[in-house]
Amino acid sequence: MHETPCSANYSNGNLTQVPKNLSDKLNVLILDHNEIQKIENNTFSNLKLLIELTINNNKLEILESKAFIGLTSLKTLKMSGNNLDFSAYTPILFSFIAKISFLDISRNLNFSKYAIQSNNYPDKALGVLVNLETLAIDLGPKPVFGKGFKKMDKLKVLEFDNCKVEVLKYSTFMNFNWGIEYLHMNKCQHFVKAEEDTLKYFPNLKVLDLSETYMHPIQAFQLLKPLLNRTMERINFHHVNDESITNNSTYSFEVNITKEMVKYIQTMCVEVLDISKNNIVDFEDGSLLTFNRPECLLNISLSENRFSLFHAHRLKNIKQFFNRAQNLMKFEYSYIPLSFVNYSHIAVKNLTNITEERVITLPSSIKEVHMSHVYHSGQPVLWKIPPNASIKCFDVSFCVTVDQATASNGSVIEYLDVTGVDSRVVFDKIQLYPLFKLKTLVMKNTNLYITNKNQKNIFTFISGTEKLDISNNFLWKLPSDIFENMTRLTNLDLSNNLFRAVPLAITRIANLKELDLSKNLLTNINSTFQEFFDVLYAKHGVFKLHLDYNALVCDCTNYDFIRWLHKTNKTNFTFDANGYKCLLHNSTETNTNIAAVHFKELFAGCNNGLWLKAGICLILTFIAIFFPFTLIYSFRWRISFYLYKRFRHTLEKGIDVKFKYDVFVYYPESDLSWIKYILMPELERKWGLKMCIEHRDFPVGRPIADTFADCIEQSRHIIFIVTSAFKNDIWGQYAVERAKYHHFSQNLQKIIVITKGINMEEIPHELAVLWKDLALIAWPDDNDKDLENVWNKLRLWLFLNH
């Protein structure tokens, strides 16, 4: 129980009755989520100052006639979620609280009792509440509202929360006063048959909310007949169509909007219109997006339907709509499944090739654009943001249709979400430069590792951005100056990437306040970054660091990191309060908090080896003095070769050596289908690598030995698919010899062996001699749970030197 001088909260107290001896000074009394079944006479007789009484979600069944006596100041009464039927309400009961303006008695009725007969509402009892402004009540299958409701002439808001209505007749609401402005009838999920003049008695209606009331769009639009030419704040027809009702009605689940259907709403002045999730598959020219007064619209939602805006008359209609809706502030067109997703799709068309009829210009008044998960194929459209637009949110995540866009000079976007849109499209095809006032940029799942590899600094056009999310992008390194121009950046999300160490680029972010490095491959935070984060905390007085789900290690090499975590976890310098999982030297899993508590036990021997290190240093010094020439002479060729490799690597980096292929793959004939249908789609289509394989890339008529030699020489890496038949494969042995030659004397960077169906000891001798230079993968079965880890390991090896 929580009590203040003016309020008392007895929620979740397992009470079976209202507490006795309550303070007579209470203004608010809350008794929610208890076991109260009955309110007796005079229970509240001393609470003359009580303004609000809440008894939601109890087991109320009985209200004695004088239960509310004494509540002379009560304005709000809430009794939803109980077991009160209409017989519980009497004129005497409500006569003691006739001044209330808000009454909620919804979610009380057991509709099984009213399945057949008409539901006569207690109009005489409710008619006593002449000052009532808001009434929330259940709506039975066949409601009958008596003449007593006419007495509630101040009623403005009518809410039907728990709804089982089956029929809405012309006369259903005839006894309500004409002053009703807000009608909410939600979640009536049996098919509702409605006569078109049902709303005749609500001529002053401002808000009509029928969301998730299954009456079909045809009936929903027909209900607007009595509101012809009226002005309304909101019409909500979200999910008024459902497949469950079309089996028992004459209506089709697939909806084609006609001019006849929308003839009433076209005459109205509506500020907010929601017709989302209705399985609308098409609309006639001049119907859905054509209004007599489009300047009234502020928000419109067309989401979760199945019609395209990018073809034929629909494209013309949306262009006309945006041109005329000069006050439109919010446009929603999300989750539109127009075609299958093609992840390899990259927009390559030039903006100049798009004709004027396929250019969609948003209105300058627009503030929010939500076009997420729109899967569109076919001719592209160009979305144009006018020069004087100031957009707070532009969400085009997983939106295939936004493959071409341009922002005019002078336009402003504060929040941009391009998650799921390939980064090559974002930086090359969507002309949003510059966006100096962009505060938040979200670029998750955008294949940023490809763009990051090909461009030096990809964020020069968002120097004013404060929050940047580039998680889930397979990033393992970043250019040191990538954030150099982002002087206002305070929040950076690098989670779900492949970082083995904190990127050095972080040190260029002077105003960083929150960094998310969770779900990477970090083993620790080195002392340089520990000091840097301490400086940021001292500078700003706050810093948040997220390190969950990394490969942290709690051993002697990281004892300073564990101690730093424990010391630094204080007010406004935030880590996970439960610590982070880490591995001890014996591979036992613990967490950093436990390691810090038992610091002396776990790390006691970390400094004991200093004397041993000193002795080893002396011995090494001795050896270095007396045996340098012997060592140099003994390993002269290896030293020369190492220096040559280092020099060649530096030279290659400087002159940017080009390879024709990223990887050469040698495979037995029996594995051709695995190469074509498993390996090639992953490496070429998803990872963007260029493969060289015999059956596709070897020229006809040329000696095969020369072709093998040239292709291996022109490839950055080589992959051998080794099966039990490899030892008898003459060309396989030849390919190994060429690989050895090019690896030791040319440019071949990685030799990767993928074994399939053989043990380690069965690896051919030709490859075994290269053991130190091999990257070995034992390929699992297709349904093996480790398959994803194997793919990630292969990606890591190919890209580290790519």
> pLDDT per residue over 128-181, tens digit each?
999 999 999 999 888 999 999 999 999 999 999 888 898 999 999 999 999 999
Q: Report the half-sphere exposure of 243 (CA within 13 A, side-chain side).
A: 1
Q: Report the half-sphere exposure of 43 (CA within 13 A, side-chain side).
A: 18
471 assigned to some structural domain: no
> Which of the pair, 511 or 757, is modelled with greater confidence?
511
Q: Which amino acid belongs to residue 664?
A: F
User: 354-361: which pairs have CB atoms within 8 A and are 24 or more residues apart?
Assistant: 354/380, 354/381, 354/382, 354/404, 357/315, 357/316, 357/319, 358/310, 358/315, 358/382, 359/384, 360/315, 360/318, 360/319, 360/322, 360/384, 361/319, 361/322, 361/323, 361/386
Q: How far apart are CA 710 and CA 510, in angstroms?
A: 50
Contacts of 126 (CB under 8 A, 6+ apart): 89, 94, 132, 135, 148, 149, 152
Q: How far apart are CA 477 and CA 302, in angstroms?
A: 41
* CATH label of the domain that carries residue 107: 3.80.10.10
Same domain, 252 and 139: no
Does residue 434 have a cis bond before it (omega within 30 degrees)?
yes
Instruction: Compute the average pLDDT of residues 44-68.
Output: 96
Beta bridge partners of 332: 301, 370
Q: What is the DSSP letter of 435?
A: -
User: 791-795: which pairs have CB atoms within 8 A and are 24 or more residues apart?
Assistant: 791/682, 792/498, 794/752, 794/754, 795/474, 795/687
Q: How far apart are CA 489 and CA 480, in angstroms?
A: 15
How wide is the angle at C-alpha 785 spanned by C-alphas 782 and 786, nearest 5°? 90
The model's confidence at residue 641, banded by pLDDT at 50, 70 and 90, is: very low
CA distances from 39 to 10, 55, 235, 508, 739 (A): 15, 10, 40, 67, 89
> Pick from 597, 625, 652: which residue ends a domain?
652
The model's confidence at residue 584, banded by pLDDT at 50, 70 and 90, is: confident
Q: How far apart are CA 397 and CA 399, in angstroms?
A: 5
| pLDDT at position 796 over 60 | yes
Is residue 159 within 8 Å of 136, Cβ to Cβ?
A: yes
For the full predicted model, state whether its pTM sits above 0.85.
Answer: no
| pLDDT at position 654 over 80 | no
The model's confidence at residue 324, banded by pLDDT at 50, 70 and 90, is: very high
| pLDDT at position 39 over 80 | yes
180 assigned to some structural domain: yes
Q: Report the half-sphere exposure of 348 (CA within 13 A, side-chain side).
A: 3
Q: Quick one: pLDDT at residue 5? A: 61
Lowest mean pLDDT among 229-243, 359-373, 720-734: 720-734
User: 765-771: which pairs have CB atoms within 8 A and are 24 or more residues apart?
Assistant: 766/733, 766/736, 766/737, 767/720, 767/722, 767/736, 769/740, 770/736, 770/739, 770/740, 770/743
Same domain, 625 and 705: no
| pLDDT at position 115 over 80 | no
Q: Concatenated DSSP letters for 743-768?
A: HHHSS--EEEEEE-S--GGGS-HHHH
Lowest mean pLDDT among 32-36, 422-426, 440-444, 782-786: 782-786
> Which of the pair, 507 or 646, is modelled with greater confidence?
507
Strands 7-9 and 2-3, by their bridges, are: antiparallel
217 assigned to some structural domain: yes
Which tokens go with 758? Answer: 């053989």
| pLDDT at position 637 over 50 | no
| pLDDT at position 760 over 90 | no
Same domain, 226 and 284: yes
Q: How far apart are CA 264 and CA 198, in angstroms?
A: 14
Strands (E), 640-749: 661-666, 691-692, 715-722
Helix, strand, or coil here: 401?
A: coil
* CATH label of the domain that carries residue 758: 3.40.50.10140
| pLDDT at position 742 over 60 | yes
Q: What share of the chain is helix, strand, coil (3-state, %, to 5)?
A: 30, 20, 50
Q: Quick one: pLDDT at residue 139? A: 92
The model's confidence at residue 759, banded by pLDDT at 50, 70 and 90, is: confident
Q: Quick one: pLDDT at residue 517? A: 94
| pLDDT at position 611 over 60 | no
| pLDDT at position 345 over 60 | no
> pLDDT per residue over 691-732, tens digit each?
999 888 888 878 888 888 888 888 888 898 888 877 778 888
The model's confidence at residue 457, banded by pLDDT at 50, 70 and 90, is: low
619 assigned to some structural domain: yes
Nearest to 35 by CA among 63, 5, 55: 55
Q: How far apart are CA 447 and CA 449, in angstroms?
A: 5
514 assigned to some structural domain: no
> Pick from 263, 284, 307: which residue ends a domain?
307
Q: Which range in 80-84, 596-600, 723-727 is most confidently predicted, on average pLDDT?
A: 80-84
Same domain, 142 and 282: no
> pLDDT per residue over 498-526, tens digit each?
999 999 999 999 999 999 999 999 988 88
Average pLDDT, the chain: 84
Is residue 38 within 8 Å of 66, Cβ to Cβ?
A: no
Which tokens go with 712? Answer: 């291996």
Nearest to 432 by CA among 376, 374, 487, 384: 384
Which tokens go with 626? Answer: 């007396």
Cα dihedral: 662, 498, 782, 724 (round 10): 50
> Which of the pair, 580 or 177, is modelled with greater confidence?
177
Q: How far apart are CA 296 and CA 294, in angstroms?
A: 5
The model's confidence at residue 401, banded by pLDDT at 50, 70 and 90, is: low
Q: Quick one: pLDDT at residue 212? A: 94
Same domain, 290 and 186: yes
Instruction: Compute the average pLDDT of residues 97-119.
Output: 83
Q: Which range in 375-389, 467-481, 567-581, 751-765 is most confidently predicted, on average pLDDT?
A: 467-481
Q: How far apart are CA 138 and CA 153, in angstroms?
A: 20
CA distances from 786 to 170, 782, 800 (A): 65, 9, 21
350 assigned to some structural domain: no
The model's confidence at residue 248, banded by pLDDT at 50, 70 and 90, is: low
| pLDDT at position 48 over 90 | yes
| pLDDT at position 348 over 50 | no
Instruction: Compute the average pLDDT of residues 272-281.
Output: 97
| pLDDT at position 347 over 50 | no
Q: How far apart are CA 593 and CA 258, in angstroms?
A: 65
Same domain, 155 and 302: no
Is residue 290 within 8 Å of 317, Cβ to Cβ?
A: yes
Q: Quick one: pLDDT at residue 349? A: 46
Which tokens go with 74? Answer: 């009560």
Q: What is the DSSP letter of 633?
A: H
> Which of the pair, 669 or 237, is modelled with greater confidence?
237
Same domain, 285 and 196: yes
Which tokens go with 229? Answer: 């030419």
- Domain total in the chain: 4
Nearest to 251 by CA among 197, 204, 194, 299: 194
Same domain, 77 and 181: no
| pLDDT at position 432 over 80 | no
> Pick from 267, 283, 307: which residue ends a domain?
307
Q: Quick one: pLDDT at residue 802? A: 47
Q: How far apart are CA 660 and CA 773, in angstroms?
A: 23
Same domain, 139 and 181: no
| pLDDT at position 71 over 60 | yes
Q: Is the dihedral of CA 455, 460, 461, 466 positive or negative?
A: positive
Strands (E), 548-610: 573-574, 581-583, 589-591
> Which of the pair, 730 or 406, is modelled with greater confidence?
730
Same domain, 9 and 148: yes
> Which of the pair, 400 or 291, is modelled with greater confidence?
291
349 assigned to some structural domain: no
Is residue 157 within 8 Å of 134, Cβ to Cβ?
A: yes
Which structural domain, as residue segments, surrounds residue 16? 1-160
Percent of the chain with pLDDT over 70: 83
Is residue 75 within 8 Å of 52, Cβ to Cβ?
A: yes
Same domain, 109 and 240: no
Percent of the chain with pLDDT over 90: 46
Instruction: Compute the average pLDDT of residues 462-488.
Output: 91
Same domain, 23 and 145: yes
59 assigned to some structural domain: yes
The alpha carbon of residue 663 and the mean position of all alpha carbons in its chain are separated, in whole angstroms, by 35
> Which of the pair, 568 or 552, is modelled with greater confidence?
552
The model's confidence at residue 573, banded by pLDDT at 50, 70 and 90, is: low
